[in-house]
Amino acid sequence: MNPTPVNLLDFDVDGLAAWFAAQGEKPFRARQVMRWLHREGCTDFSRMTDVAKSLRARLAEQACVRPPAPISDRVSADGTRKWLLDVGAGNAVETVFIPEATRGTLCVSSQAGCALDCAFCSTGKQGFNRNLSAAEIIGQLWLANRLLGGAADGERVVSNVVMMGMGEPLTNLDNVIRALRLMLDDHAYGLSRRRVTVSTSGIVPAMDRLREECPVALAVSLHAPNDGLRDRLVPINAKYPLAQLLAACRRYLDRAPRDFVTFEYVMLDGVNDHDGHARELITIAAEVPCKFNLIPFNPFPGSPFRRSPAARIRHFAGLLAEAGIVATTRKTRGDDVDAACGQLAGRVQDRSRRIIRMAEMERKS
């Protein structure tokens, strides 16, 4: 019986070199094959013309190129494109491509579901099943380039990647780092560290590890300016409160490709959008070089929150700007296909039993 083929998308260059070395092959073969896999989007080993025929034959027997399979492919009126991707065992994740005049940004998922249960996020309400493998993470970029028509001749449609899809990237750090290294590798995607962003809710030890092993641009899901409110909106704050989080941000900037952290701040009507909240954010900005990305809340069924009115968001941004802080308001993209920030839900076989527990609590209330 033949062993299960090895999915080559699971390897960064060091891992692929080690796999080849175990078979008596030279390390340079890893760079050759990576270029075919990632720059050309090639799945047919016989087409890898600068690879020895004997190795091509062995790859055909022992290896495969297997990204997640698309279940659906939806395009928004504004051109945003969302794929639902099958990751097995009844689970599916979502990946979103956002085209703009000067760049194309891919929003990538790192987990099937999310264990953090942020109060305003539809993904968290789905529960959690498992971490995605490195192949399932980088496979989203591999597939997007192919489906967008940019895999041939090294052409790239995706110029920026944000790890802001389903899941908390820093609780799946081993696989995320392996995928990040592929994104940055000149033999694969060759993206600049400044054009790859990891978003986290504030897993402090993992932030320090990312800083040491693969520092890319950092975005922090802040969403509240004080511990009391953040405990309610972002429960991980109870474990890593703001003082620890801000200290980790300052440490990260020592190695970061940008000289600021982006603080993401979803605007919730009457919850975190008061003038006093803006003044507290100004105090935070004095501690950490940063810019704020204000995100109009995108509603989903069962959510108790409402989006802050446009006038309130403009006023809030103005208060920050008056203090000399860069504050942008994220344009809502793809909300007609549920592809906007906070709307990604996918399909998750929930091992956390969160949905069951929530139903039980509702029955008791």
Marked catalytic residue, from 94, 136, 168, 264: 94
Residue 355: what pLDDT? Answer: 47
For 60-75, the pLDDT digits (tens) are: 999 999 999 999 999 9
Domains, the chain, ordered by start: 6-64 (1.10.150.530), 69-360 (3.20.20.70)
- Enter the DSSP assignment of 365: -
SS3 172: coil
For 151-199, the pLDDT digits (tens) are: 444 456 899 999 999 999 999 999 999 999 999 999 999 999 999 999 9
Marked catalytic residue, from 107, 121, 290, 341: 341
In sequence order, the β-bridge partners of residue 82 are: 74, 96
Q: What is the largest CA-CA distance in the chain?
A: 69
Could you tell me the two tokens for 288?
Answer: 């950490």
Residue 345: what pLDDT? Answer: 57
Catalytic residue check, 61: no
Q: Are 319 and 267 in contact (CB under 8 A)?
A: no
Q: How far apart are CA 306 and CA 106, in angstroms?
A: 27
Cα-atom radius of gyration of the chain, to the nearest Å? 21
Q: How far apart are CA 255 and CA 257, in angstroms?
A: 7
What is the pTM (predicted TM-score) of this model?
0.91
358 pLDDT exceeds 90? no
Residue 51: what pLDDT? Answer: 94
Tell me the mean pLDDT in the region 94-106: 93
Q: How confident is the model at residue 330 (pLDDT cuts 50, 70, 90)?
A: confident
233 pLDDT exceeds 80? yes
* Mean pLDDT (the chain, rounded): 90
Amino acid of residue 164 = M
**Phi first, then psi: what are they for 64, rounded to 5°?**
-150, 170
Q: Which residue has the higher pLDDT, 12 or 350?
A: 12
Catalytic residue check, 64: no
Q: How far apart are CA 104 and CA 21, in angstroms?
A: 37
1 pLDDT exceeds 50? no
Could you tell me the two tokens for 347?
Answer: 């399909």
Q: How far apart are CA 130 and CA 166, in angstroms?
A: 11
Residue 63: what pLDDT? Answer: 97
Strands 63-64 and 6-7 turn out to be parallel
Q: How confident is the model at residue 259 (pLDDT cuts 50, 70, 90)?
A: very high
35 pLDDT exceeds 90? yes
Q: How confident is the model at residue 359 (pLDDT cuts 50, 70, 90)?
A: very low
Residue 133: HSE in the Cβ half-sphere, 13 Å Cα cutoff: 16
